[in-house]
Amino acid sequence: MVSFPSGKFLFQPVAGPNLCAAGTIRSPMTFASSWRLPRPAAVLAVLALTASAAWADGLDSLQNFIQHARSGRADFTQTVTAPPRDGKPGRAKTSSGTFEFQRPGKFRFDYQKPFVQTIVADGQTLWLYDADLNQVTERAQAQVLGQTPAALIAEATDLRALQADFTLAAQPARDGLQWVKAVPKTRDGQLQQVQVGFDGEQLAALEILDNFGQRSVLRFGPMQLNPQLPAGAFQFKPPAGADVLRQ
């Protein structure tokens, strides 16, 4: 797995959608009356119908994003929270910067605060640059991005391709967003799950949980979809004098 600065993880798949079977359903009031459900059961029936609608919206949003968002640009804020230890809550660290992607397989994270760091995938190579250390890590992109959050953002070209690596399950709406949970189909990586939040067809959030209990939450600002990005946006050349580690 690729690790973000300060132990942040961005990169790892999902079983079929957890949706109710299709069918003709009358309004909740008619449904409850005809079956003479007690009031608590009627309320649960209404909630179940509402949740089912939200799940469908979340999966639809993911599919539409993959199909129609060929490129994008947004600001982001990332909060990484360590797992609890000795009964105490984990410490949280926040960073921010800009994000760009171009499907298939190209993206760039420029961290600006509190430290300058860069992650670039150019389609062949994944580059990680730490300005303070003046150090570059170079890895073959195909070896690290298959079952990672990056695949959800920029790698997959359709939902079926994504389901080859992830088990996808739509989740109830919360925080004004529609959500889909993605769980890797292979368990040999560090990623436990990713939840992807959408505002309509716009990518709004990633919530990443690794197998060590570390939680990383990325919140994206308004995303500009399908912009004309500069030709060199996903090119990276190690700065002069930087140590280059090839893995």
Q: Which domains does the chain have, with CATH numbers?
A: 3-21+31-68+76-96+144-227 (2.50.20)
74 token code pair: 């947004």
Taking only the tens of pLDDT, the chain with its 247 residues reads: 444 444 444 543 333 333 333 333 322 322 222 223 334 443 333 333 333 333 447 899 999 999 999 999 999 999 999 999 888 889 999 999 999 999 989 999 999 999 999 999 999 999 999 999 999 999 999 888 766 788 788 888 888 888 888 999 999 999 999 999 999 988 777 889 999 999 988 999 999 999 899 999 999 999 999 999 998 999 999 999 999 999 8
Q: Which residues of 125-150 are buried (b: 16+ CB within 10 A; e: fewer)?
A: ebbbbbeeeeebbebebeebbbbbbb
CB count in 10 Å sphere of residue 247: 10
Pairing status of strand 215-220 against strand 224-225: unpaired
14 token code pair: 């999902």
pLDDT at 186: 83
Using alpha carbons only, give the angle 223, 54, 225 rounded to the nearest 5 degrees. Answer: 15
Non-local (6+) Cβ contacts of 183 within 8 A are 13, 14, 15, 166, 167, 169, 192, 193
191: nearest Cα among 141, 247, 151, 137 = 151
CA distances from 124 to 107, 143, 158, 240 (A): 11, 10, 20, 22
234: nearest Cα among 153, 157, 127, 130 = 127
Identify the DSSP state of 176: T
* Locus of tokens 């860069």: 118
**6: amino acid identity, one letter:** S
111 - beta bridge partners? 97, 117
Nearest-angstrom CA–CA distance, 187 and 111: 29
19: nearest Cα among 58, 46, 66, 63 = 58
pLDDT at 10: 52
Nearest-angstrom CA–CA distance, 38 and 35: 9
Identify the DSSP state of 190: S
pLDDT at 15: 33
Nearest-angstrom CA–CA distance, 135 and 62: 35
